[in-house]
A and B are shown apart, each in its own frame.
Chain A
Amino acid sequence: MKTLSKIYNGIIFTFLYAPIVVLIVYSFNDSKNRVQWGGFTLDWYRDLFSNELILESLAVTLQIAVLAAIISTVIGTMAAVGIFNMNGRLRRAMESLNNIPMVNPEIVTGISMMLMFVAIYRATGLLQPGFATLLIAHITFCIPYVVLQVMPKLRQMNKHMYEAALDLGCTPFAAFFKVVLPEIMPGVITGALMAFTMSLDDFVISYFNSGSTAQNLSVTIYSMTKKPVTPEVNALSTLMFGSVLILLVIVNARQVRDLKKQKERR
């Protein structure tokens, strides 16, 4: 039974990883043919870094991801604190508001925002599809992840600490920054990192809201996969996989450290 389950797990993990491994191996393949192995090369990486379209969209992707992560973390953290102090119907309303982007099919979220931007543009000439609309869209779908990360930390926090700070003469503002924020910081940072990764990775919503002036990497990749593909895409995948791997290791190391701290406190 034990060996059977090991074999089964092995098969599933192979299924999950085989395509990625093939992609990475072929990014070093010195042959345009995707099947034949023509020796090791870094040419595709060189081509990648001289491809201006890709570099430009990489810049857009990073700018959007950083801005969206910062703004959604601020709004989301404030929201979590506010919602945490609500009760009953108001709280449920806020929670369902937070759930809308998470349960809606992505394509519906994407086109609904696109229609709104189109309507605004037609009426006022403002918000032409581009960097601004892309950023707004990303902030919107990132906020719920931040809220969901911060909420549990607020629940774990000792409520009386905030009151104690007030009793000791802190203004509510100072009490928040000196007492509450340090307590919920792990959740805030995980939320921010998650928002950053979600933004980096998003395609569907970006596709409908980027216009032609501000394409992010996913949208550029999509337009590349429609034509006969070059191994440059493999090189790009390898680099992106590598960066995500690093980010994930950081997030995970943080969580492990958190767990240890919690255990020590007990």
Chain B
Amino acid sequence: MKKRLSAAPFAVWMGIFTVVPMAIVLWFAFTDENGAFTLRNIAEIWQYSGTYVDSIWMGALATVICLVLAYPLALSIARKAEHVQRTMVMIVMLPMWMNFLLRTYAWMSLLEENGLINHLLGQIGLHWSIINTDAAVVLGMVYNFLPFMILPLYSVMAKMDNRVIEAAQDLGSNNWQILRRVILPLSAPGIVSGVTMVFVPAVSTFVISKLLGGSKYMMIGDVIESMFMGDGCNYNVGAALSLVLMVLMLICMSLMRRVDNGEDELGGMMA
């Protein structure tokens, strides 16, 4: 009975510092500078609908690329001997623990007009103007979030029962059929958590687009950031924009959850 009480500090802390702030975002979104109720902030969001669409498009593109790149890798890790698996997972995780800004900054110096890649390309008479384009931002997203796709996929595939695959082989399936009819459905929970873990941070980023995309307001994250830290800052519109972002992400996630039966891979991935 009493043991439950030890969760009290947690409940109080998380209540005050996560639930109350959410309520305050809501309050800022529906009031003006003087604290009077208004729907003007919400109305202003329409102005940014194009940016929302762009962000979701770029985030989705990065997510799909990550999935396509990660799937074969995760599968091949999961088929290795146990100690090899451990080492390979470690290799995948390591870049993730390097400061996120520094990783992005590394790409900045690689992709620059006179950066290393163009220097090397220059030797064979080529040039690639990619910095400050959408492509550079998507590349940055793929690079930064690829491990978030590999790890949940791997952790589901590693748990897969090998006998199921052997049974399929015995029953005459070829490799392609096994992949499509056995491995793919069984790895669905991993796909769902991988997609969520890449899509949410990709859509809401402002660092990658700032560093690799130039100074344009490309992503919704850039706009929100400027509403809070920029010169023309407006907390109320910023709160409304974040509210919509939050709701969009919640909708995306509940759609994803419906595909899956709701197994949480997050804890497994972090361990």
A positions within 8 Å CB-CB of B: 5, 8-9, 12-13, 15-20, 22-23, 26, 34-35, 75-76, 78-79, 81-83, 85-86, 90, 94, 97-98, 100-109, 111-116, 118-119, 136-137, 139-140, 143, 145, 147-149, 151-152, 172, 190, 194, 197, 201, 203-204, 207-208, 217-218, 221-222, 225, 229, 233, 236-237, 240-241, 244-245, 247-248, 252, 255-256
Query: A9 touching B101 by the CB < 8 A rule?
Result: no
- The CA-CA distance from A197 to B221 in the complex, in Å, is 24
Known contacts A81-B3, A83-B10, A201-B99, then 13 further A-B pairs from the complex at CB < 8 Å, ordered by chain A residue: A81-B6, A82-B6, A82-B7, A103-B249, A104-B246, A108-B246, A112-B22, A115-B235, A137-B17, A148-B267, A237-B106, A240-B102, A248-B93
Chain B residues within 8 Å of A, Cβ to Cβ? 2-11, 13-15, 17-22, 24-25, 28, 69, 72-73, 76-77, 86, 88, 90-95, 97-103, 105-110, 112, 114-116, 119, 143, 146-147, 196, 200-201, 203-207, 211, 221, 224-225, 228-229, 235, 238-239, 242, 245-246, 249, 253, 266-267, 270-271
Evaluate contact between A152 and B267: CB separation under 8 angstroms: yes
Verify B266–A118 contact, CB threshold 8 A: no
Q: Is the CB of B69 within 8 A of A12?
A: yes
Closest chain A residue to B204, Cβ basis: A105
Q: Given A8-B73, A12-B73, A81-B3, does the pair A108, B101 have CB atoms closer than 8 Å?
A: no
Chain A residues with CB under 8 A of B8: 82
> Closest Cβ of chain B: how far from A162's Cβ, in Å?
9
B131 to A: closest C-beta gap in Å: 13
A244-B103 Cα distance, complex, nearest whole Å: 14
- Taking a contact as CB atoms under 8 Å apart, the answer to whether B246 and A98 are in contact is no
Do B7 and A81 have beta carbons less than 8 Å apart? yes
Separation of A239 and B99 alpha carbons in the complex (Å)? 11
Whether B10 contacts A143 by the Cβ 8 Å rule is: yes
| Minimum C-beta distance from B85 to chain A (A) | 12
Please pick, from A9, A83, A113, the residue contacting B17 in the complex, using a CB distance under 8 A.
A113
Q: Determine whether the beta carbon of B6 is less than 8 Å from that of A229.
A: no
Residue of B nearest to A236 (CB): B102
Contact: A222 with B200, CB < 8 Å? no
For A81, what are the chain B residues with a Cβ–Cβ distance below 8 Å?
3, 6-7
Q: Are A79 and B10 in contact (CB under 8 A)?
A: yes
Known: A23-B102, A115-B235, A233-B105. A145 touches B270 (CB 8 A): yes
